Structure 1
Amino acid sequence: MYDFSADSADCARAVEAGLSEYLTGARLSGPGPVAERLVAAMRHGSLEGGKRLRPLLVRQSAAIFSLPKDQTLRAGLAIEMVHCYSLIHDDLPAMDDDDLRRGRPTVHKAYDDATAILAGDALLTQAFAVLADPACHPDAETRIRLVGELAAGSGTGGMVGGQMRDIEGEQGGFSETDIATMQAMKTGALIRAAVRMGAILGGADARALSALTAYAEAAGRAFQLADDILDVTATPEAMGKATGKDQDAGKQTVVSRLGVDGARKMLDGIVNEALLALRTFGPKADGLRATARYFAVRQK
């Protein structure tokens, strides 16, 4: 029987160790020597915290095709580096202006704004170097597909574009469709990329990839909706960061439209939609099922 707690903890340990090993001056130098302050800032924004859910989704998706978990780690590291870069930049004064992340000072508070920008830039850049390395996968075509998938999920039609739409939404006038589009890009696109990257590593055919994409898109909506609910209901101590900022900034969310009870009802329906997408995969998809359910009940 699948054990979500054990698998997620094991994945988090593997990602922590992998990032710690990779984010060193020796590994990051070339053609010139890397500045140690930059490495320290990258490590501050990446290590000692985080649920590592995106690498877990890569692992769980690949498990459907019986791919050993160690063969998913490199792709997991790459997507986690992109996620960490996005958090470093989101916390900047010009964006969400947060002082705490995972219960610690954000990178721009621990260092300075310019160093935080460069640390995020470096994490994003190095993520693609990780995917391009033959250690990620021996087949060059597969590596190219992984690079394309991560670029799509994190770029202008994905996470970055969604962040831009989120900023525009602070001016008001967003419809529920506009909110859904923004959230599917800002949060859902990287979750979608994680699931699809695992499927690509596992050699999924077009039909399986389509079903997993449907799961991932629903799971992404569930994760963002749960996050919006927690922004209203959770304490800063539980979250390890400031809460209530969406309302303070006038951001348009489903919770602001439907209220907490209405949003929770919608969340249950979205999770069921994600589970239905996995109906053809049997027990091998139990990991993905457990993660979708976790999105609905998480407390931080």
Structure 2
Amino acid sequence: MTTTAQRLLDSSAQLSYDPAVEVDWETPLDPADHGASPEWSTLYGTRYWQELSEEQRVELTRQESACVASTGIWFELILQQMMIRDIYAMDRTSAEFQWSLTEIADECRHSIMFARGAEKLNAPAYLPRRAVMELGRIFKTLAWGETAYAAILVAEEVLDVMQRDWMRDERVAPFVRTINNIHVVEESRHMRFARDEVLQRMAGVGGFRRHTSAVSIAAAAYFIVTSMVSDEVYAQAGLDVERAKREASANEHHHALLRSSCRGLMEFLDRAGLLTPPARLIYAAAHLI
């Protein structure tokens, strides 16, 4: 792990971004610019999507993008608290300790960047449902070891795939594309560290702990993914909320995108011994497998 942590520290020193400088916060938002690739909209491919005007589609992708960013902030706050707790008594001179602080600093900048991005998209302060917020409080307090790092990996892997599409899409607002590029580059290091931590901490664990961790990680994944686009998004975009919810919940196109984005993640969890039958059922319920 020391070698990996040192390599990531070196990479961070060579390629990191300051969103306050790198992102164009001043240029006004073009009315024609989407907030995300339309194909990633929860309604893309549905009958309702076909009925929407281009202006409504643009507004919907903006609100969805802002909600994804707000969900990212929520989980990054959880991530930071878990990591700080994990390194509390760690050797301060170690590369692992210094890398962990570097990752926490990255996440702080990302959260500010996402908050400013959501504001520029003219979105409200989206939060997960109250019950999910409270479950998050419990999770950040109790999660440790492979459970904490695999949950980090789940959240970042799903975001990584969709943001790689958004950052290359010229239909998406330029400042959103820059935000996505920054997040993809810097999170690639975080995901590498999380994968190594999971494998290291799973080495030699017993059956009970493996099954308990697998279900806990899957449950975290379920609530993260199902919180990415809240019902309030549809109201904010001026849509019929109940109809939008019905069509989004049955949207096989969007479900297929989620499954595709998680293929590599599921292979990794399986290799780590964390894709147990009960966990598979939870991932399937979230359309991740």
TM-score when normalising by structure 1: 0.32
User: Relative contact order: is structure 1 or structure 2 higher (C-alpha 8 Å, sep ≥ 6)?
Assistant: 2
TM-score when normalising by structure 2: 0.32
